[in-house]
Amino acid sequence: MQTIIDRFIKYVQLDTQSDPSSPTTPSTEKQWVLANLLVKELKAMGMTEVSIDENAYVMATLPSNVDHDTPTLGFIAHFDTTPDFSGTNVAPRIIEAYDGGDIELDAKEKIILSPSYFEDLKQYKGQTLIVTDGTTLLGADDKAGITEIMEAMDHLIKHPEIKHGKIRVGFTPDEEIGRGAHKFDVQQFGADWAYTMDGSQLGELEYENFNAASATITITGKSVHPGYAKNKMVNAITIATALLAALPSNEVPEKTTDREGFFHVHHFQGTIEKTVVELIIRDHYKAHFEARKNTLQQLTAALNEQFNDCIALEMLDQYYNMGEKITPVMHIVDIAKEAMETLGITPIIKPIRGGTDGSQLSFMGLPCPNIFAGGHNFHGKYEYVPVESMVQAIKVIVKICELTAQKAK
Please identify which of the residues 141, 142, 175, 208 carries the catalytic annotation: 175
Question: For position 129, what pLDDT does the model report?
Answer: 98
Burial class (CB within 10 angstroms; exposed 0-12, middle 13-18, buried 19+) of 348: middle
106 and 200 co-located in one domain: yes
Per residue in 266-287, pLDDT (tens digit) is: 999 999 999 999 999 999 999 9
Number of domains in the chain: 2
224 and 136 co-located in one domain: no
193 and 292 co-located in one domain: no
> 345: which DSSP letter?
P
176 and 232 co-located in one domain: no
Q: State how far the Cα of 406 lies from the Cα of 66, in Å rounded to an integer.
A: 10
Question: For position 409, what pLDDT does the model report?
Answer: 86
Distances (CA, A) of 69 to 60, 209, 334: 20, 32, 20
206 is catalytic: no
Segments of 33-191 assigned E as strands: 48-52, 58-62, 73-78, 93-95, 103-106, 111-113, 129-131, 167-172
Q: Residue-wise over 319-339: b if at least 16 C-beta within 10 A, else e? A: bbbbbebbeeeeebbebbbbb
The answer, yes or no, to whether residue 304 has pLDDT greater than 80, is: yes
66 and 194 co-located in one domain: yes
237 and 88 co-located in one domain: no
CATH label of the domain that carries residue 361: 3.40.630.10
87 and 171 co-located in one domain: yes
Distances (CA, A) of 148 to 104, 364, 394: 27, 25, 5
78 and 143 co-located in one domain: yes
Please identify which of the residues 15, 80, 204, 206 carries the catalytic annotation: 80
The answer, yes or no, to whether residue 355 has pLDDT greater than 80, is: no
69 is catalytic: no
Q: State how far the Cα of 201 lies from the Cα of 15, in Å rounded to an integer.
A: 24
295 and 328 co-located in one domain: no
Percentage of the residues of the chain whose pLDDT score is greater than 90: 96
Find the range with the poorest average confidence among 91-95, 112-116, 354-358.
Answer: 354-358
353 and 394 co-located in one domain: yes
Question: For position 356, what pLDDT does the model report?
Answer: 80
247 and 378 co-located in one domain: no
- Mean pLDDT for the stretch of residues 144-166: 98
Mean pLDDT of the chain: 96
Let me know: does 15 contact 64? Beta carbons within 8 Å. Answer: no
Give pTM, 2 decimals. Answer: 0.90
Q: How many residues does the chain have?
A: 409
- Mean pLDDT for the stretch of residues 12-17: 98
Per residue in 118-151, pLDDT (tens digit) is: 999 999 999 999 999 999 999 999 999 999 999 9
Domain residues for the domain of 117 are 2-208+321-407
User: Helix (H, G, I), strand (E, B), or coil: what is residue 132?
Assistant: coil
> 406: which DSSP letter?
H
Percentage of the residues of the chain whose pLDDT score is greater than 70: 100
